[in-house]
Structure 1
Amino acid sequence: MLRVTTELVSSGERVTAIVNPDSRHYDRIKELGANVMGARVISESLLRRAGVDAADDGAPSTARALVLLDNDDVHNVHTALTARDMDPELRIVVQMVNPRLGKHMNRLLGDCVVINGPSLAAPAFVSDALEDDELTWLDLGGRRLVAGQADLIREPHLTVLADTTSSATPTLLPLSSSDPDGDIVLGTGVRTLWRSRDVRPAGWFMALRDILDSRVRKIAAVMAFLIVAGTGVIHYFGGIEWWRALYLAAGVVTSAGIDDDKFNDAQPWVKVSAVLVQLTGIVLMALLTAVVVDSLIGARLSRLIGGVRGRPRNHVVVCGLGTVGSRVLEILTERGVAVVGVDQDDDAPGIQTAHRLKIPVVVGDSSNEETLRLAGVQRCQSVLAITDGDITNLECAIMARDLNPEAGITMRMFDHDLAQRVERRLGLGNSRSVSMLVAPAVAAAVANRRSQVTVPAGRRVLLLTEVTVEPGSVAVGKRMGQLDEAGGLRVLARQDLGGAWDWSPTSGPEPRPGGRTAASERETRSAGRVPAVERELRAGDRMAVAGTRSGLARLLMATRAQRTSASS
């Protein structure tokens, strides 16, 4: 809330902030110039006081937009539904921790903007860990997309953005390309690089070793000694053959009982000794059971099947497996990078993600030297300290620097001032804040500004953004394919007013001019629907486009409402 309020106030917006009075940022938000209302629970009456006060005659609310930033998705959904009932036209921007739930928010609220912090922030941490800027992540047309070299992007590619091999100067938005591996393309994910991993989970063999600790081995040794001694006594003094003697001795020590007539003929002192040994065996079996159960409960299942096997090298250590850490694990795995996770909470969201991706996990305090050694920090490539605590991340970074001065370190720091001072004085590497990465996206959604993403192609650049067709513009009534310009503009997807995004014009293996494909066109026609690229545009429709600056400028002129002069 502090970051978003700062962004909005600096943009000239009038902001009313509903803040918990116990928040340590309460006074800081008030100092920014926002109208602060202290409340622990958001109610309908409180929303009316804040400006969500649409009248029954259709008059809009005083407030232009509602931004919901609670970490509890249930509270955000409840408040959003309440506000939508109060004002059906209110612009709602909501942060959702659960991305799957966020995908269904449009069904509940109609036109709204859903912000997922982990999805926005995770690529930045991955770029720091790998020290590359080859990929550009973006949210466009209701999808999370990535632009980069074709050999890094998972197929099928949505479209070719630039041909970098045809000549010394890249060809932007080519109609066709002879060498797709060298092109810059747009896709939905990165390609998995299949190679032998440097890091392997400990597995069940290591888990069994953890259960059979020194206590179990000592108890088993005493029981084995009693069985061997009892076998000798029964054989020599009882006159019983070796195998039968071994059976009788094992039955006595393990409390399994004795069912043999010959043992009844043994001497009295042998019988008394057997009773004593059996009592000792009962105690030993109870101790053995207690030790094994203690090992199972103490270690926990996640710790038993986690851990690291061998001595990993050149891997990435992710300390903090929350919602951001979970997404970082997924992206690193997609990139084919060896990774080890660290978290002291074995119920963290990233633990299940790590198990699904077969990533080794060390359960322990990431600021502890022994925990970092178990994760192989002394031989790793990079360390990402992205827990929920600034001090924990700082201690982790300092410890990692002591263990491996050559490793790249990135810290997640909530306090921006602290992050700047740490970077300047300690030189521990980069520091990033999820709120600093997310706040501009929230502010842009509130102001309904276009969020442009720049994709470099050699010394040239492409802009990817969304454009709305305004009433009375030149674009109304035109087909989407008519707006395409060879080398200047390509329409990627379309969203009819109030509908879902349609990416069918750009799906498939055989790109056509304008991004259409033969496969998608045949499927669309067979379903009895007119392809999106051929349907006429209406006021309020949105388009996801890629273009040069000049091409995008011409599109904006075509989609902007025509203004008539006073004389006309």
Structure 2
Amino acid sequence: MLRVVTELVSSGERVTAIVNPASRHYDRIGELGATVMGARVVSESLLRRAGVDADDDGTPSTARALVLLDNDDVHNVHTALTARDMDPDLRIIVQMVNPRLGKQLISLLGDCVVINGPWLAAPAFVSDALEDDELTWLDLGGRRLVVGQADLIAEPHLTVLADTTSSATPELLPVTSADPEGDIVLGTGVRTLWRARDVRPAGWLMAMRDIFDSRVRKIAAVMAFLVAAGTGVVHFFGNIEWWRALYLAAGVVTSAGIDDDKFNDAAPWVKVSAVLVQLTGIVLMALLTAVVVDSLVGARLSRIIGGVRGRPRNHVVVCGLGTVGARVLEILTERGVAVVGVDQDEDAPGVQVAHRLKIPVVIGDSSNEETLRSAGVQRCQSVLAITDGDITNLESAMVAGDLNPEARITMRMFDHDLAQRVERRLGLGHSRSVSMLVAPAIAAAVANRRSQVTVPAGRRVLLLTEVTVEDGSVAVGRRLGELDEAGGLRVLARQDLGGSWDWTPAYERPLRAGDRLAVAGTRSGLARLLMTTRPQQTPAAS
């Protein structure tokens, strides 16, 4: 919410924020300029006080849009349905974790934009992990397009989005570029890529090794010693052939019993020894059974079947298999990249995805050195520390850096200030914030019903989206080329009302109400465009 409110206020919106009073960002949100209403539960009366107050006579709500950012999908759905009953025409933007539920919500609410944070943020983490493979697929202007490094995108390139080599800070939407191969460009396809998938799950072979651990081996060694010693005693002192002596000794040690008439004639001390050995065998068999059961049940099936086979190299280690981690695994697999997952929770969403995709998973604390060694961090090409905790991600990055100084490390950091200081002082690699990647898309969706695609360029981002020129806006009658801003906004294609998309539009032609524009822009550039294409008489409230 803090990031979204920041984006909306900076775009000139008037914001009312319903915040839990226990939130540590409560005061900060108010300092940004938003009207803050403290409440733990969102009710119909609270929504009405916040501006969702449409009347039955057709008077629209004071609020122009409703943004729902609860972490609980059920709460978001409940609030969205309540708001839709209150105002059938209200624009609703909902952050959803479950994509299936999001699709169903669109069919229920109609004018609704569903934002899936993991789907928006995951490509940025993949881009950092692969470094030379920054590919983002999107649907824009009636075409299926891809964004990535110029040397990865098939020619011809539609436009240059960012120059990442001209300076330490990427130049967005440059007019010219000194090094075209280092540009981030927009195209229609990729060049042929091939990566070896050389990491295999441990499977049942490794599972058997985990079952027969050191405890089982020690117990089996003691039992083998007793069988060997008993075989010798029975053979030499009972005058029984070797194979029969082995059978008798094994029967005693394993508590299978003794059923042999010759042994009945043995000396008393031999019989007493047999009883003692048999009692020892009973204890050992009980211990052996307990250890095997502990390996099968106590260690849990996912841990036994999981793990990594062999000594993988040049793979990507993903630490944290939540909703973002699950999407990262899917993208890496789609691109044929070798990957190993690490998570402490065997029921995490990404663990289930990994089993479905046959990706090796190590269950354990990602900040633990042995866990990372099991994932082959010392031989990997990059590490993504994307758990839900900043400290865990920082510790994982530090341990991974010690094990493999050559690995590319990317951390998920919620605290922006901490992320900057870590990057500057510790030199552990890049940091990403899911909220910083998602907030611009949510803020843009407030004034635009179409979805946006976030393209990362370092810690900066570009948004690619479609915008409608609405009747009564200042954009009506202006030339298309007047909307372009150097480094801030670029019009890519135009669709006349009822026509088809034109990717080589005439920039001298005036705009008309109903025209659609496919654009690429910074957060501020897109915000200014939305203000220009929106009717001026509409109250700037949300």
Band the TM-score falls in, shorter-chain normalisation: 0.7 to 0.9
Q: Give the aligned residue type for 1:219.
A: I
What is the CA–CA distance in structure 1 between the aligned matches of 2:322 and 2:43, rounded to whole Å? 30
TM-score of the aligned structures, taking structure 2 as reference length: 0.77
Over residues 491-515 of structure 1, what are the superposed CA-to-partner deviations in whole Å (9 max), with x where a residue is unaligned? Answer: 7xx9xxxxxxxxxxxxxxxxxxxxx
Over residues 541-565 of structure 1, what are the superposed CA-to-partner deviations in whole Å (9 max), with x where a residue is unaligned? Answer: xx8x5724x358859537349xxxx
Contact map agreement 2:3 2:439 (CA 8 A) in 1? yes
Equivalence for 2:512: 557
What is the CA–CA distance in structure 2 between the aligned matches of 1:161 and 1:402, rounded to whole Å? 40
Q: Give the aligned residue type for 2:215.
A: R
Helix, strand or coil for the counterpart of 2:311?
A: coil
Equivalence for 2:111: 111
- Larger CA deviation: 429-438 vs 374-383: 374-383
Flag the 1:231–1:208 CA change in 2: closer, same or farther, 3 A: same
Helix, strand or coil for the counterpart of 1:17?
A: strand
Helix, strand or coil for the counterpart of 1:414?
A: coil
Q: Give the aligned residue type for 2:225.
A: F
What is the CA–CA distance in structure 2 between the aligned matches of 1:220 and 1:552, rounded to whole Å? 82
Over residues 154-210 of structure 1, what are the superposed CA-to-partner deviations in whole Å (9 max), with x where a residue is unaligned? Answer: xxx9x997699xxxxxxxxxxxxxxxxxx98647xx899676433222222222222
Q: Give the aligned residue type for 1:14.
A: R
- Residue 410 (structure 2) pairs with residue 410 (structure 1): yes
What is the CA–CA distance in structure 1 between the aligned matches of 2:141 and 2:249, rounded to whole Å? 75
Equivalence for 1:355: 355
Equivalence for 2:445: 445
Equivalence for 2:489: none
Over residues 434-492 of structure 1, what are the superposed CA-to-partner deviations in whole Å (9 max), with x where a residue is unaligned? Answer: 1111111111111127677699xxxxxxx96435586899xxxxxxxxxxxxxx9587x
- Larger CA deviation: 233-242 vs 342-351: 233-242
Flag the 1:89–1:230 CA change in 2: closer, same or farther, 3 A: same
Flag the 1:450–1:77 CA change in 2: closer, same or farther, 3 A: closer
Q: Give the aligned residue type for 1:557.
A: R
Over residues 85-104 of structure 1, what are the superposed CA-to-partner deviations in whole Å (9 max), with x where a residue is unaligned? Answer: 11111111000111122122
- Larger CA deviation: 422-431 vs 211-220: 422-431
What is the CA–CA distance in structure 1 between the aligned matches of 2:147 and 2:352, rounded to whole Å? 28
What is the CA–CA distance in structure 2 between the aligned matches of 1:310 and 1:323, rounded to whole Å? 28
Q: Is there any run of 5+ residues in structure 2 with no aligned partner, and where?
A: 161-184, 456-462, 474-491, 517-542
Report the CA distance between 1:350 and its aligned residue: 1.1
Equivalence for 1:325: 325
What is the CA–CA distance in structure 1 between the aligned matches of 2:7 and 2:57, rounded to whole Å? 33
Q: Give the aligned residue type for 2:49.
A: R
What is the CA–CA distance in structure 2 between the aligned matches of 1:378 and 1:371, rounded to whole Å? 11
What is the CA–CA distance in structure 1 between the aligned matches of 2:9 and 2:204, rounded to whole Å? 55
- Residue 176 (structure 2) pairs with residue 221 (structure 1): no
- Larger CA deviation: 215-224 vs 422-431: 422-431
Contact map agreement 1:160 1:184 (CA 8 A) in 2? no
What is the CA–CA distance in structure 2 between the aligned matches of 1:142 and 1:19, rounded to whole Å? 39
Equivalence for 1:275: 275
Flag the 1:454–1:235 CA change in 2: closer, same or farther, 3 A: closer
Flag the 1:552–1:45 CA change in 2: closer, same or farther, 3 A: farther
- Residue 488 (structure 2) pairs with residue 547 (structure 1): no
Over residues 357-401 of structure 1, what are the superposed CA-to-partner deviations in whole Å (9 max), with x where a residue is unaligned? Answer: 222222222222332233222222112111111122222222322
Q: Give the aligned residue type for 2:218.
A: K
Equivalence for 1:400: 400
Equivalence for 1:251: 251
Helix, strand or coil for the counterpart of 1:279?
A: helix
What is the CA–CA distance in structure 1 between the aligned matches of 2:116 and 2:76, rounded to whole Å? 13
Over residues 327-368 of structure 1, what are the superposed CA-to-partner deviations in whole Å (9 max), with x where a residue is unaligned? Answer: 111111111211222222222211111222222222222222
Flag the 1:288–1:450 CA change in 2: closer, same or farther, 3 A: closer
Equivalence for 1:4: 4
Q: Give the aligned residue type for 2:13.
A: E
Flag the 1:341–1:59 CA change in 2: closer, same or farther, 3 A: same
Helix, strand or coil for the counterpart of 2:396?
A: helix
What is the CA–CA distance in structure 2 between the aligned matches of 1:556 and 1:453, rounded to whole Å? 24
What is the CA–CA distance in structure 2 between the aligned matches of 1:421 and 1:149, rounded to whole Å? 28
What is the CA–CA distance in structure 1 between the aligned matches of 2:106 and 2:201, rounded to whole Å? 40
Equivalence for 2:525: none
Equivalence for 2:477: none
What is the CA–CA distance in structure 2 between the aligned matches of 1:423 and 1:114, rounded to whole Å? 33
Q: Give the aligned residue type for 2:257.
A: G
What is the CA–CA distance in structure 2 between the aligned matches of 1:114 and 1:290, rounded to whole Å? 51
What is the CA–CA distance in structure 1 between the aligned matches of 2:198 and 2:396, rounded to whole Å? 23
Helix, strand or coil for the counterpart of 1:398?
A: helix
The share of aligned pairs that are identical, in percent, is: 85
Alignment of 1:49-88 (within 5 A): 49-88=49-88
Q: Give the aligned residue type for 2:112.
A: C
The count of corresponding residues between Structure 1 and Structure 2 is 469
TM-score of the aligned structures, taking structure 1 as reference length: 0.73
Alignment of 1:40-439 (within 5 A): 40-132=40-132, 134-138=134-138, 140=140, 146-147=146-147, 186=188, 196-439=196-439
Contact map agreement 2:120 2:454 (CA 8 A) in 1? no
Helix, strand or coil for the counterpart of 1:409?
A: strand
Equivalence for 1:167: none
What is the CA–CA distance in structure 2 between the aligned matches of 1:101 and 1:553, rounded to whole Å? 44
Flag the 1:145–1:356 CA change in 2: closer, same or farther, 3 A: farther
Flag the 1:63–1:163 CA change in 2: closer, same or farther, 3 A: closer
Q: Give the aligned residue type for 1:321.
A: L
Flag the 1:555–1:467 CA change in 2: closer, same or farther, 3 A: farther
- Larger CA deviation: 106-115 vs 263-272: 263-272
Equivalence for 1:466: 466
Contact map agreement 2:196 2:338 (CA 8 A) in 1? no
Flag the 1:308–1:453 CA change in 2: closer, same or farther, 3 A: closer
What is the CA–CA distance in structure 2 between the aligned matches of 1:78 and 1:142, rounded to whole Å? 33
Q: Give the aligned residue type for 2:207.
A: A
Report the CA distance between 1:232 and its aligned residue: 3.1
Flag the 1:150–1:265 CA change in 2: closer, same or farther, 3 A: farther
What is the CA–CA distance in structure 2 between the aligned matches of 1:423 and 1:351, rounded to whole Å? 29
Equivalence for 1:482: none
Flag the 1:555–1:217 CA change in 2: closer, same or farther, 3 A: farther
Q: Is there any run of 5+ residues in structure 1 with no aligned partner, and where?
A: 165-182, 456-462, 474-487, 495-535, 562-568
Helix, strand or coil for the counterpart of 2:466?
A: strand
Flag the 1:405–1:554 CA change in 2: closer, same or farther, 3 A: farther
Report the CA distance between 1:291 and its aligned residue: 1.8
- Larger CA deviation: 52-61 vs 297-306: 297-306
Report the CA distance between 1:115 and its aligned residue: 0.2
Alpha-carbon RMSD: 3.7
Flag the 1:464–1:263 CA change in 2: closer, same or farther, 3 A: same
Flag the 1:113–1:421 CA change in 2: closer, same or farther, 3 A: same
Helix, strand or coil for the counterpart of 1:341?
A: strand
Report the CA distance between 1:211 and its aligned residue: 1.9
Over residues 6-35 of structure 1, what are the superposed CA-to-partner deviations in whole Å (9 max), with x where a residue is unaligned? Answer: 001111111111111111111111111111
Equivalence for 2:39: 39
